[in-house]
Structure 1
């Protein structure tokens, strides 16, 4: 269950990618920013809902976000964090207790790991889980809709599938806009500015078999691209692939 899993993360008994864990519950990407930038970042999320579907927004200075679940503490309950200074990745701590400030605002953003349980239930293979690696993620040539200082390029996650599985995956994920929804692109990586599938910008490369199609979903690492482009003096995010597991049932995020 999510609460028990978060306890394992908090006590450092678990520190890896979270794909495949607590599959019936939503996982969240994090962007944690000073209050001075929160309004602009909220508008950025509203303008880029595929990449940044909001699950919850915390109060300034509050590491506990009740909307995400029982005793959730974003300072300790994520397996890995990225700390940015002046838009540059500076540190990757295991927790952010010592980095916490009274002006920080938590944005929890839906994650494509959440719909993977539905894909697996429909017997659609997920290569990164089969190969026990982090999902591959790529920077694209697709520009985000800017808001204030936030812009940057869309980041996508990729899952290779047969044609038949790809059609079904589109049908399933279209019902879950709160966790990125349907793919933003299917097929040629070059068409969205990806030069080599074997060299992801985040995560790990996976096998793409003959006759399989790469499917690309908008990814919650996109805010990190926006943080970099904004050159914020200080910001925190999750380490790609290392999510906050919430108590929110995935089924509650479906649309009819």
Structure 2
């Protein structure tokens, strides 16, 4: 199965598939995923609500993964951790079921991607610990509210994501490259984006790189490792943020016998408000 995942290429197709929009609530999005009405990416949906990356691992790996997140807070900002076997996270939503409320999951066995289901109830286990990590889709609302254009949102696409040559700090078996998301911006807009996102470290914070992608090991912006490519127009800079898909690279390197993640771009949308994460 290819590491890149393709999605509808227009806002109209995206909205029509789920009857959701930027004004939907986090609960609206979760219920749509739970019922099977939403199986595509969540970029541009429920703009006021915090979105999260998901990693679900057996309890005997949970401490190592927790340390990996603590050592790499930029790509892995922890929002919540469950008790073993508990599919609820009341601090993120009163009506929240980790087995069904992500539009699409990825199931990994020994580091290999084996399935992309939309529901986990048949394979859920009592020893599974769930981690929810901050997502850049949350800070996009602040960028859009400030008038900064985001091309992938305009085009109804998933954000482009790339593996870099920047190593993460290992913990136990978990190690691998930093994964970044990219948004093209004019120089003045990029400066403003740095100012805005630096206030939200819980959802990756300020960019990790601006400009030449080759300096962080990215050879071709037109070929993202995850998500959808967008053009970088003349006069624009590619701006790179740490990405919550980084744990998937670490999980692939660790090769656990069994674990689950979200499919890139298919986030858990919570009941927390983005403005609660603003440090300023």
- For the superposition of Structure 1 and Structure 2, which TM-score range results when normalised by the shorter chain? over 0.9
Deviation at 1:167, TM superposition (A): 0.3
Aligned to 1:19: 43
Q: Offset at 1:21?
A: 0.7
- For residues 116-154 of structure 1, the C-alpha deviation after alignment (integer angstroms, 9 at most, x for no partner) is 000000010001011111100000000000000000111
- For 1:237, the equivalent position in structure 2 comes to 261
The equivalences for 1:184-223 within 5 A come to 184-223=208-247
Gaps of 5+ in 2: 1-24
Q: Give a deviation string over 1:152-201, Cα, whole Å, max 9, x none.
A: 11100000000010000000000000000000000011000001000000
TM-score, normalised with respect to structure 1: 0.99
Give the 4+ runs in structure 1 shifted more than 3 A.
none
For residue 4 of structure 2, what is the aligned residue in structure 1? Answer: none
The 5-angstrom pairing of residues 1-256 of structure 1 reads: 1-256=25-280
Whole-Å separation in 2 of the counterparts to 1:120 and 1:44? 31
| Secondary structure in 2 matching 1:168 | helix
Moved more, 61-70 or 192-201: 61-70
Q: Provide the C-alpha distance between the structure 2 equivalents of 1:232 and 1:60, rounded to a whole number of angstroms.
A: 17
Q: In the aligned structure 1, how far is the partner of 2:99 from the partner of 2:127?
A: 14
Cα contact 1:3–1:70 (8 A) shared by 2: no
Q: How many residues align?
A: 256
- Provide the rounded CA distance (Å) in 1 between the counterparts of 2:156 and 2:50: 20
- Asked if structure 2 preserves the Cα contact closer than 8 Å seen for 1:17 and 1:243, the reply is yes
Q: TM-score normalised to the size of structure 2?
A: 0.91
Deviation at 1:94, TM superposition (A): 1.0
Q: Do the aligned partners of 1:15 and 1:79 also contact (CA within 8 Å) in 2?
A: yes
User: Whole-Å Cα distance in 2 between the matches of residues 45 and 126 of structure 1?
Assistant: 28
Structure 1 gap segments, 5+ residues each = none
Counterpart-to-counterpart distance in 1, 2:136 and 2:109: 27
Deviation string for 1:7-64 (max 9, x for gaps)? Answer: 1111011111101111111000000000000001000000000000000000000111
Question: Alpha carbon RMSD of aligned pairs, Å?
Answer: 0.6
Q: Hey, what's the Cα distance between the residues in 2 that align with 1:25 and 1:168?
A: 22
User: Deviation of residue 67 (structure 1)?
Assistant: 1.2
